[in-house]
């Protein structure tokens, strides 16, 4: 089989592939809102029909939430599983969209042609890059280059409550030699990246209580405990003067970068001044003995995401509040234990409480970081294939965010996951006016064709 023929087929079919994506984008599959349950079903049905059209026996599988789509096709060589999600984020605030979010269209911009609409980048456009690569292989040769399992979920944007039980119940069916995930992006919008490290996430909410009601600051100020002052002291103590987190044993399980990875990251020439300048900042604020790229990809964090307490309306009200609360998130790496960190964080908060104050804790999830082993031959095969397609050579990279499915593949199925995506930094995922560059869609399809060829070449 000639890869050149498949690539030529992809180029010729791009207009039709784009129309298929626009058709899928018209379905408002918002998973977090029960009002869109039928639309999520419709998106799953659309994908089943589309996979069937290229000869992949696929079906919609019922879950307690939105359905999974699973399809299998046999072939020689390795068994590849491709994962994506068909659900999308809500569109609020609607008034900030320049056009209807579920009336997608091609749009000419200063940076080139883009596909505009909710889900275009996250994740329908990315999902369809792989499907379209397979369509081209099938159209050209009547078969696919290897055994492939297609696995699409409809709850990624709402926490994936059905995912782990489904994977556990169907582990034998879903097990493969390598899992492919297309839900990431290009490094600095130009360099193809294979994500090998992901940070985990621990969410905690604390509420400090003092008096049984809000108090007049003139009558009680100075003599009564103020929960906001107590909370402020707790938060201020979470970092030392160098930016390190002070929670006991917090850095247990945090690995050092290998010299090889450090050299590869240095070669990316990350412009942290431009990165921060884009959001009107200038100075890196994290651990001062690490590079900015390490801070984002390879170091754990503790951040305050919100503070509530006292009177916050218009005007002025002189009260000592009865309570004050904060929401905090910890991004975790390596083998950091989120449950141990939660325990030690709560012990720290308890130790900071003065007399007359109590605290309530609320958990908002806990997951560890993920590291993918690049010893699997598919990683170097994919890196070479991506480097053939894009002007910049592909790199193994980290990701500051959390994509739990990668860890689930390893923990539940014993399968390494390879994360490759073609989104750009300005795609505005989760925001109004989401877009996906037509170049990302086109070269993404070609990239997957090259990767499948490299993984199956004899």
Question: In this structure, what CATH number is given to the domain that contains residue 313?
Answer: 3.30.70.360
Are 72 and 153 found together in one domain? Answer: yes
User: What pLDDT, on a 0 to 100 scale, did the predictor assign at position 261?
Assistant: 86
Q: What is the distance between the alpha carbons of residues 335 and 147, in angstroms, rounded to a whole number?
A: 33
Q: Per the domain annotation, does 9 fall within a domain? A: yes
Would you say 195 and 397 are in contact if contact means Cβ atoms under 8 Å apart? Answer: yes
Q: Per the domain annotation, does 293 fall within a domain? A: no
Determine the 3-state secondary structure of 4 from DSSP.
Answer: helix
Tell which of 367, 386, 401 closes a domain.
Answer: 367
Would you say 382 and 454 are in contact if contact means Cβ atoms under 8 Å apart? Answer: yes
Would you say 208 and 324 are in contact if contact means Cβ atoms under 8 Å apart? Answer: yes
Determine the 3-state secondary structure of 422 from DSSP.
Answer: coil
Are 305 and 424 found together in one domain? Answer: no
Are 41 and 74 found together in one domain? Answer: yes
Would you say 143 and 12 are in contact if contact means Cβ atoms under 8 Å apart? Answer: no
Are 79 and 145 found together in one domain? Answer: yes
Tell which of 334, 367, 400 closes a domain.
Answer: 367
- For residue 213, the enclosing domain spans 200-254+300-367
Return contacts of 266-270, CB within 8 angstroms, 24+ apart.
267/395, 268/187, 268/188, 268/191, 268/293, 268/395, 268/397, 270/188
Are 225 and 184 found together in one domain? Answer: no
Would you say 138 and 48 are in contact if contact means Cβ atoms under 8 Å apart? Answer: no
| Buried b or exposed e, range 223-241, using 16+ CB within 10 angstroms | eebbbbebbbebbeebbee
Are 318 and 416 found together in one domain? Answer: no
Would you say 44 and 31 are in contact if contact means Cβ atoms under 8 Å apart? Answer: no
Nearest of 300, 312, 363 to residue 336 by alpha carbon: 300
Q: Per the domain annotation, does 237 fall within a domain? A: yes
The CATH number that applies at residue 29 is 3.40.630.10
Helix (H) or strand (E) holding 71: strand 68-73
Determine the 3-state secondary structure of 439 from DSSP.
Answer: helix
Would you say 107 and 116 are in contact if contact means Cβ atoms under 8 Å apart? Answer: yes
Q: Per the domain annotation, does 25 fall within a domain? A: yes
Nearest of 247, 255, 64 to residue 154 by alpha carbon: 64
Are 114 and 103 found together in one domain? Answer: yes
Residue 272: how many CB atoms within 10 A of its CB? 16
Q: What is the distance between the alpha carbons of residues 155 and 166, in angstroms, rounded to a whole number?
A: 12
Q: Per the domain annotation, does 294 fall within a domain? A: no
Q: Per the domain annotation, does 214 fall within a domain? A: yes
Sign of CA dihedral 138, 141, 143, 148: negative
pTM: 0.86
Nearest of 147, 183, 246 to residue 456 by alpha carbon: 147
User: What pLDDT, on a 0 to 100 scale, did the predictor assign at position 264?
Assistant: 85
Tell which of 351, 367, 383 closes a domain.
Answer: 367
How far from each other are the two terminal CA atoms of the chain, in whole angstroms? Answer: 11
Q: pLDDT (tens digit, 0 to 9) for every residue of the chain, 458 residues total?
A: 799 999 999 999 999 999 999 999 999 999 999 999 999 999 999 999 999 999 999 999 999 999 999 999 999 899 999 999 999 999 999 999 999 999 999 999 999 999 999 999 999 999 999 999 999 999 999 999 999 999 999 999 998 999 999 999 999 999 999 999 999 999 999 999 999 999 999 999 999 999 999 999 999 999 999 999 999 999 999 999 999 999 999 999 999 988 888 888 998 999 999 999 989 999 999 999 999 999 999 999 999 999 999 999 999 999 999 999 999 999 999 999 999 999 999 999 999 999 999 999 999 989 889 888 888 999 999 999 999 999 999 999 999 887 889 989 999 999 999 999 999 999 999 999 999 999 999 999 999 999 999 999 86
Structure tokens at 443: 């070269």
Number of structural domains found in the chain: 2
Omega before residue 93 within 30° of 0, cis: yes
Are 391 and 403 found together in one domain? Answer: yes
Q: Per the domain annotation, does 271 fall within a domain? A: no
Would you say 67 and 61 are in contact if contact means Cβ atoms under 8 Å apart? Answer: yes
User: What pLDDT, on a 0 to 100 scale, did the predictor assign at position 458?
Assistant: 66
DSSP notation for 216-266 = EHHHHTTTS--HHHHHHHHHHTTB-TTS-B-STTTTTT-PPPPHHHHHHHH
| Buried b or exposed e, range 165-178, using 16+ CB within 10 angstroms | ebbeebeeebbbbb
Are 235 and 110 found together in one domain? Answer: no
Are 113 and 165 found together in one domain? Answer: yes
Q: Per the domain annotation, does 291 fall within a domain? A: no
Are 132 and 210 found together in one domain? Answer: no
For the chain, the residue count is 458
């Amino acid at each position: 089989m000639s890869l050149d023929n498949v690539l030529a087929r992809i180029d010729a079919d791009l207009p039709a592939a784009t129309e298929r994506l626009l058709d899928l984008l018209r379905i408002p599959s918002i998973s977090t809102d029960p009002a869109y349950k039928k639309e999520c079903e419709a998106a799953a049905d659309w994908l089943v029909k589309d996979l069937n059209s290229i000869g992949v026996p696929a079906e919609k599988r019922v879950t307690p939430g939105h359905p999974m789509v699973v399809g299998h096709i046999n072939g020689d060589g390795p068994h590849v599983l491709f994962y994506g999600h068909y659900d999308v984020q809500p569109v609020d605030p609607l008034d900030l969209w320049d056009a209807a979010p579920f009336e997608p269209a091609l749009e000419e911009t200063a940076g080139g042609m883009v596909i505009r609409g909710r889900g275009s980048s996250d994740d329908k456009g990315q999902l369809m890059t792989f499907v379209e690569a397979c369509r081209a292989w099938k159209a050209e040769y009547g078969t696919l280059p290897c055994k492939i399992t297609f696995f699409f979920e409809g709850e990624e944007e709402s926490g994936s409550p059905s995912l782990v039980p489904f994977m556990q119940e169907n582990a034998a069916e879903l097990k493969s030699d390598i899992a492919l995930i297309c839900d990431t992006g290009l490094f600095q919008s130009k360099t193809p990246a294979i994500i090998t490290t992901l940070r985990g996430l621990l969410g905690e909410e604390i509420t400090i209580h003092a008096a049984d009601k809000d108090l007049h600051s003139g009558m009680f100020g100075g003599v009564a405990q103020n929960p906001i002052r107590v909370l402020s002291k707790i938060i201020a103590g979470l970092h030392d003067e160098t930016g390190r987190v002070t929670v006991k044993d917090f850095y247990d399980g945090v690995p050092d970068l290998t010299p090889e990875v450090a050299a590869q990251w240095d070669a990316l020439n990350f412009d942290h001044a431009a990165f921060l300048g884009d959001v009107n900042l200038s100075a890196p604020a994290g651990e001062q003995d690490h590079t900015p790229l390490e801070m984002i990809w390879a170091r754990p964090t503790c951040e305050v995401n919100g503070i509530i307490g006292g009177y916050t309306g218009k005007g002025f009200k002189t009260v000592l509040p009865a309570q004050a609360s904060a929401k905090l998130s910890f991004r975790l790496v390596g083998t950091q234990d989120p449950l141990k960190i939660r325990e030690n964080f709560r012990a720290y908060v308890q130790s900071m409480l003065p007399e007359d104050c109590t605290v309530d804790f609320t958990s908002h999830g806990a997951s560890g970081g993920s590291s993918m082993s690049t010893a699997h031959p598919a990683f170097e095969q994919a890196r070479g294939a991506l480097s053939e397609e894009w002007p910049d050579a592909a790199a193994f990279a980290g990701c500051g965010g959390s994509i739990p499915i990668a860890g689930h593949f390893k923990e539940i199925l014993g399968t390494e996951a390879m994360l490759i995506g073609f989104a750009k930094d300005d795609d505005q995922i989760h925001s109004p006016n989401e877009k996906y560059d037509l170049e990302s869609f086109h070269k993404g399809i070609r990239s997957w064709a090259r990767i499948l060829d490299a993984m199956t070449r004899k």
